[in-house]
């Protein structure tokens, strides 16, 4: 009986620790904010704060879509 109690005494804290740390794997917060690394380069920092709908972003998205359409078999830019 003493052996069962010692085993249970070890398993209970381990199970509690596993439950507490289960949700700590994600860096994204409940609000959707993802913390930014402090050692990010200038380009990465600009990307964090640049708007998704700036003229440059829209133009880049249009270029990506055009490239994607051009790579699709049977559906080309000239079709």
Whole-number Cα distances in Å, 47 to 44, 54, 57, 66, 72:
5, 12, 10, 22, 29
**Domains of the chain: total:** 1
pLDDT score at 5: 56
- The list of the chain residues with pLDDT below 50 reads none
pLDDT score at 64: 93
Domain containing 56: what range? Answer: 38-79
Is residue 34 within 8 A of residue 27, CB to CB? The reply is yes
- Residue 2 included in any domain: no
The pTM is what? Answer: 0.31
Residue with tokens 């380069």: 41
- Residue 29 included in any domain: no
Is residue 70 within 8 A of residue 77, CB to CB? The reply is yes
- Residue 50 included in any domain: yes
pLDDT score at 67: 92
Distance CA 75, CA 54 (A): 29
């Amino acid at each position: 009986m003493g052996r069962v109690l010692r085993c249970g005494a070890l398993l209970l804290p381990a199970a509690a620790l596993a439950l507490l740390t289960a949700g700590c794997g994600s860096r994204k917060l409940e609000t959707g904010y993802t913390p930014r690394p402090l050692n990010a380069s200038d380009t990465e920092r600009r990307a964090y704060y640049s708007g998704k709908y700036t003229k440059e972003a829209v133009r880049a998205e249009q270029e990506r879509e055009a490239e994607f359409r051009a790579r699709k078999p049977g559906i080309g830019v000239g079709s």
